[in-house]
Structure 1
Amino acid sequence: MAGSTDTSAASDNERDSDSHSSSTVRNVVLVVLDTARATSCGPETTPTLHRLASEGTAFENAYAAAPWTLPSHASLFTGTYPSEHGAHGGYTYLDEELRTLPESFADSGYETIGVSNNTWITEEFGFDRGFEDLRKGWQYIQSDADMGAVVRGEDVREKLQATRDRLFEGNPLVNAANILYSEVLQPAGDDGADRSTDWIGDWLETRDRDDPFFLFCNFIEPHVEYDPPREYAERFLPDGATYDDATAIRQDPRAYDCEDYTITDRKFEMLRGLYRAELAYVDDQLGELRAALEASGEWDDTLFVVCGDHGEHIGEHGFFGHQYNLYNTLINVPLVVHGGPFADGDRRDDLVQLLDLPETLLETAGIDDPKLREQSAGRSLHPASTANAEPRDAIFAEYVAPQPSIDRLEARFETIPDHVYDYDRRLRAVRTLEYKYVRGDDGFERLHDVRSDPEEWTDISDRKPERVSELRARLEDRFEPLETAGASESVEMREGTKDRLADLGYL
């Protein structure tokens, strides 16, 4: 944990009375609803989030800096773009030189706790920096050995083989307990959210420290595979569709991309129902988390932030999952902030980014971190911040390298369709109030009028060459030219992590 940066604690007697003293808060909770896209959130699917928005501030034009977990979380933690923080498909480790949000809170006297249910957000990829405790939600007993291969066994033979291979990695008694939980005792339809909220509730009830706390939690339920509890699914499935029919649909985004199988419109409709049910389920867990904060007496003193890290394609634009493009379906995410100055039911439609959150959270907590502020490309969303004098006129997003790579797709499927080779490119996007422009390092480009074509179906780049030139210049002004941008080697992953990421559709 770095300790040389000059930061100021947000305790009651150390706050700057001349800087938003009435709007500082004691604690900060940051919740990421993994794979939550803005267009699928609302009063029907996410009533808890909707209530938070009615009591706090909803940002209706919020955008991730990247379309998948690793680079998006890295931007969220550092305030930098993927090409700046270096964590992406070509290099999967967060740059050690960058200051992280948890480090800022830790060095300011906060207790820092992380609960991750996505295997990208672990110490293996550099996300433990600043956390006193970063828990892995897929493990019932915390251990470095990952028994995920047992969970994913297709039959008894595979499960027994995986058990033989993994049981003696680390503590065999702990591994056996984790296997027993995953194979026998784990509730159906939950990917760690229920265990996470229970653990957080217990932690809040038993903690005896007077320090303020920073709590980060990632809920992964909306991620493939969509397997919500039956009672949730039945609320959102289309007429005539059964739970058994919907959950029997193959969910393998990379195989779908490579035309290893097809999905009909009717099946995509059922998959969208399952996805919405997953959002509803995790929204109830969000309500449990709020209830735990209320029961512990911490709610009124807590800045509570909820966002998606990226969205999802479920048949839109011919894609399934969240790779290979920068459509708004993937980068437009929900963002709600509650507490402190964000408690008046405000709805803001200005362009904001998730990488604005580090400066927003620190300013609201009364913390000054010059190093993070210097590296950050974000701006504070605090209502009284001087950064809000002029609304942002554009947001940016990047897809630095394909994930998984084309080589890995070839290794899995041997022969892949010609059009998949088009995805072997680097993409950047700029979105203004009027237009969205996307450019690739292979010459690919698209331009959309987002006012008349919000779903980005019609490319108008041929009709608006002057606008293309203008927005291309904006991209090159913000980043280096695409042709000179490079990617580094990927760090080596442990086998257990590879298995888990394959289960999530990344490999």
Structure 2
Amino acid sequence: MKPNRPNIVWLTIDSIRADHTSVHGYSRATTQNLSRIANSDDGSAFDNCISEGIWSLPVGTSILTGTYPVYHNTVAEGDMIPEDITTLPELLSEAGYQTYGVSGNPWFSDATDMNRGFGTFEYISKDNLLSAGVGPFLKFVLNLRRHSAGYTLDTGAHCTDFLANAMVKQWIREQDGDEPFFIYAHTEGAHTPYYPPTGHHNRFTDELDMSAKKARTFAKDVGANLHEHMATGLDFSDDESQALIAAYDGLIHYLDSQIGEIFDLLTNSDVGDTILIITSDHGDLLGEMGVLSHKLSTHDGLVRVPLVTHGLDCEKTDSLVQHIDITKELARRAGCDDEQFQGTTPGNREKAIIHRSSDYFEKTKHILSKYGSALETDQFHPSDTHGIRTKTHKLISSNDRTELYELPDEAKDISEHKPDVKARLSNELDSRLREFSRDQNVNSDAELDDDMKDRLSDLGYL
């Protein structure tokens, strides 16, 4: 019999913003399975999950280490998890857990040391699709229209989420030992370029003037050339803007169907008590502030993400929460708490901390400059930027300036109208940063192979 410790399955679905999920109030039925899980016995949905950053590398590191970016400092291309920080899978492995990791995102791979602590780790790329097994691979190939871009040689259009989720399900089926297990999957999710399977995309194209096929092709082009489109001012018609959103929503709908299959397998399997975590590392902007994807800004479209759990037993789901809170709670449940964790008990958070590095800003600005950018980058902070967010306000601060917004409005700085709120949040942000920062000891020797670089280019990073 297994020890009285829960199994843990954590699914990070890339690039999903909370306000495009029906479980968090979106008008379109994009996430019926997430709603089903949240409304089931032992299910819950946290409406105010705020990410620690705006892109996969720093947020993924925060998830696995339970620390803020100002502590782990894994925030720029080439950074790896510092060797002196213990990861959650390392702790769980030492505590007797079977640990399994799978990823379709190059930032979450052995190149960045994200595989550390996993007994088994698989990175899926276009060069190793058979790593998922012959059965899942053949099913994927024979159902490319249902699960990916159809029969096209354009590898940038294909999504590996089906294969990653098939590997997760296979691992669950194989668990029959006495040890509890930890599964962590970081899939491509709703990342650019937006090219959902046709059946899921067509659910959201009825109100478009253009055909569903043309809308899908347009959305893929925008995602594949997002810097050029941003640089030229996102000169889209209303119908084109809606076509982009329809493709994004179609991807989320497809991913939700995959999540539902994993949940059903867990609930119908004799694997014992299992905690299921479903979230995203960050969202995406769909034209707000002239931005596409997850660049430049700390807008809520980037940092407010879905968080649905099953088996976590938390009642205060309307409070703020961050990934590192869940990491700390999972470690506690597994009996391997560690002093380095900087989160708090889920349900007890009143303020969230956000980070965006100057390196990430400069890299994006450099790419935009190749197209003679018309985007007003002065609206964004060029230096390292930190934010503190409550339910009602967000303060964004850097060496350049400090701004205060009253949510949901993130266009008008209200610093002059509420100087007391600005002063209070500024002081608290400074205090939190002093508390959570440390002397940096980051390893910046990550080596991405050619296949990873090609995939990052497809995803709009390079």
TM-score, normalised relative to structure 1: 0.78
Q: List per-residue Cα deviations over 1:316-353 (Å, max 9, x = no partner).
A: 222111111111111111111111535xxx56111111
1:232 is matched with which residue?
Answer: 200
Residues 203 and 401 from structure 1, CA distance in 2 versus in 1: closer, same or farther, beyond 3 angstroms? same
How far, CA to CA, are the matches of 1:140 and 1:496 in structure 2?
7
Which residues in structure 2 correspond to 1:358-397 (within 5 Å)?
Answer: 358-365=327-334, 367-370=335-338, 374-381=339-346, 391-397=348-354
Which residues in structure 2 correspond to 1:127-138 (within 5 Å)?
Answer: 127-138=114-125
Secondary structure of 1:479's aligned partner: helix
For the Cα contact (< 8 Å) 1:401–1:487, is it kept in 2?
no
How far, CA to CA, are the matches of 1:246 and 1:459 in structure 2?
36
Q: Residue type of the partner of 2:163?
A: R
Aligned pairs, number: 432
2:280 is matched with which residue?
Answer: 308
1:505 is matched with which residue?
Answer: 460
1:349 is matched with which residue?
Answer: 318
Identity %: 27
| Runs of 4 or more above 4 Å deviation | 179-187, 484-490
Q: Offset at 1:99?
A: 1.1
How far, CA to CA, are the matches of 1:289 and 1:111 in structure 2?
18
Which residues in structure 2 correspond to 1:26-45 (within 5 Å)?
Answer: 26-42=6-22, 44-45=29-30
Residues 406 and 58 from structure 1, CA distance in 2 versus in 1: closer, same or farther, beyond 3 angstroms? closer
Matched, 1:297 2:251: no
What RMSD over aligned residues (CA atoms) do the two structures have, in Å? Answer: 3.1
Which residues in structure 2 correspond to 1:130-279 (within 5 Å)?
Answer: 130-139=117-126, 141=128, 188-189=148-149, 191-237=159-205, 238-249=207-218, 250-251=221-222, 252-259=225-232, 262-279=235-252
Residues 410 and 393 from structure 1, CA distance in 2 versus in 1: closer, same or farther, beyond 3 angstroms? closer
Which residues in structure 2 correspond to 1:441-452 (within 5 Å)?
Answer: 441-443=399-401, 445-450=402-407
Q: Offset at 1:414?
A: 6.2
**Candidates 403, 419, 432, aligned match of 2:376:** 419
Q: Residue type of the partner of 2:351?
A: A
Residues 97 and 104 from structure 1, CA distance in 2 versus in 1: closer, same or farther, beyond 3 angstroms? same
1:286 is matched with which residue?
Answer: 259
Secondary structure of 1:405's aligned partner: helix
Secondary structure of 2:454's aligned partner: helix
How far, CA to CA, are the matches of 1:418 and 1:48 in structure 2?
38
User: For structure 1, which segment, 181-190 or 230-239, has the greater mean C-alpha deviation from structure 2 after superposition?
Assistant: 181-190
Q: List per-residue Cα deviations over 1:271-321 (Å, max 9, x = no partner).
A: 1111111011000000111233234322x5111111111111011222111
Q: Residue type of the partner of 1:493?
A: L
For the Cα contact (< 8 Å) 2:12–2:187, is it kept in 1?
yes
Which residues in structure 2 correspond to 1:38-117 (within 5 Å)?
Answer: 38-42=18-22, 44-55=29-40, 56-89=43-76, 92-117=79-104
Residues 182 and 305 from structure 1, CA distance in 2 versus in 1: closer, same or farther, beyond 3 angstroms? closer
TM-score, normalised relative to structure 2: 0.85
Q: Residue type of the partner of 2:458?
A: D
1:496 is matched with which residue?
Answer: 451
How far, CA to CA, are the matches of 2:384 and 2:264 in structure 1?
43
Q: List per-residue Cα deviations over 1:175-212 (Å, max 9, x = no partner).
A: xxxx9999998553351121122223333333453321
Q: Residue type of the partner of 2:120?
A: D
**Candidates 406, 415, 420, aligned match of 1:461:** 415
Q: Offset at 1:360?
A: 1.2
For the Cα contact (< 8 Å) 1:404–1:506, is it kept in 2?
no
How far, CA to CA, are the matches of 1:131 and 1:49 in structure 2?
27
For the Cα contact (< 8 Å) 2:228–2:368, is it kept in 1?
no
How far, CA to CA, are the matches of 1:455 and 1:138 in structure 2?
40
Secondary structure of 2:319's aligned partner: coil
Residues 181 and 425 from structure 1, CA distance in 2 versus in 1: closer, same or farther, beyond 3 angstroms? farther
Residues 440 and 257 from structure 1, CA distance in 2 versus in 1: closer, same or farther, beyond 3 angstroms? farther
How far, CA to CA, are the matches of 1:134 and 1:375 in structure 2?
24
Q: Residue type of the partner of 2:318?
A: D
Secondary structure of 1:267's aligned partner: helix
State which structure, 1 or 2, has the greater radius of gyration over its C-alpha atoms: 1
How far, CA to CA, are the matches of 1:307 and 1:499 in structure 2?
26
Matched, 1:475 2:440: no
Q: Residue type of the partner of 1:379?
A: T
Which residues of structure 2 form unaligned runs of 5+? 24-28, 150-157
1:159 is matched with which residue?
Answer: none
Q: Residue type of the partner of 2:201?
A: A
For the Cα contact (< 8 Å) 2:54–2:303, is it kept in 1?
yes
1:430 is matched with which residue?
Answer: 388
How far, CA to CA, are the matches of 1:257 and 1:429 in structure 2?
24
Residues 131 and 255 from structure 1, CA distance in 2 versus in 1: closer, same or farther, beyond 3 angstroms? same
How far, CA to CA, are the matches of 2:368 and 2:443 in structure 1?
18
How far, CA to CA, are the matches of 2:453 and 2:233 in structure 1?
21
Residues 407 and 60 from structure 1, CA distance in 2 versus in 1: closer, same or farther, beyond 3 angstroms? closer
Residues 90 and 197 from structure 1, CA distance in 2 versus in 1: closer, same or farther, beyond 3 angstroms? closer
For the Cα contact (< 8 Å) 1:305–1:336, is it kept in 2?
yes
Matched, 1:335 2:303: no
Residues 407 and 487 from structure 1, CA distance in 2 versus in 1: closer, same or farther, beyond 3 angstroms? farther
Residues 413 and 487 from structure 1, CA distance in 2 versus in 1: closer, same or farther, beyond 3 angstroms? farther
How far, CA to CA, are the matches of 1:410 and 1:272 in structure 2?
24
How far, CA to CA, are the matches of 1:280 and 1:128 in structure 2?
29
Residues 91 and 464 from structure 1, CA distance in 2 versus in 1: closer, same or farther, beyond 3 angstroms? farther
Q: Residue type of the partner of 1:431?
A: R
Q: List per-residue Cα deviations over 1:34-89 (Å, max 9, x = no partner).
A: 11111011151101111111121211111100011111111111111112111112
Residues 423 and 446 from structure 1, CA distance in 2 versus in 1: closer, same or farther, beyond 3 angstroms? closer
Q: Residue type of the partner of 2:97?
A: Y
Q: Residue type of the partner of 2:236?
A: I
Residues 120 and 93 from structure 1, CA distance in 2 versus in 1: closer, same or farther, beyond 3 angstroms? same
How far, CA to CA, are the matches of 2:17 and 2:115 in structure 1?
26
How far, CA to CA, are the matches of 2:21 and 2:371 in structure 1?
38
Q: Offset at 1:506?
A: 1.2
How far, CA to CA, are the matches of 2:240 and 2:360 in structure 1?
25
Which residues of structure 1 form unaligned runs of 5+? 1-10, 16-24, 145-173, 382-387
How far, CA to CA, are the matches of 1:262 and 1:487 in structure 2?
43
Secondary structure of 1:248's aligned partner: helix
How far, CA to CA, are the matches of 2:47 and 2:239 in structure 1?
30
Secondary structure of 1:135's aligned partner: strand
For the Cα contact (< 8 Å) 1:59–1:334, is it kept in 2?
yes
How far, CA to CA, are the matches of 1:456 and 1:485 in structure 2?
33
Residues 261 and 293 from structure 1, CA distance in 2 versus in 1: closer, same or farther, beyond 3 angstroms? same
